[in-house]
Amino acid sequence: MYRINLIGFENAEKHHIQTAEGENFEEFMVLDLQEKGLQGIHGRFYIDKADYNCFISR
């Protein structure tokens, strides 16, 4: 178990959320910021290449 689980992160698979490639792995997690905020949310997570460059440059 990762320590991040202790603050409320859960495996995205629990909410039927996958990577853009349709995959899931233990480190791919979500955090529900509002009670039942992820209810009804499902699908694949895509990130724009321009946004991706912002994430990896920090």
Q: Are 39 and 22 in contact (CB under 8 A)?
A: no
Under a CB-based contact definition with an 8 Å cutoff, are residues 26 and 11 in contact?
yes
More confident: 8 or 4: 8
Q: What is the pLDDT of residue 58?
A: 40
Q: Is the pLDDT of residue 17 over 90?
A: yes
Q: Does the global pTM surpass 0.85? A: no
> Could you tell me the two tokens for 39?
């209810």
pLDDT value of residue 41? 86
Whether 31 shows a pLDDT value over 70: the answer reads yes
3-state secondary structure of 46: coil
Mean pLDDT of 3-31: 86
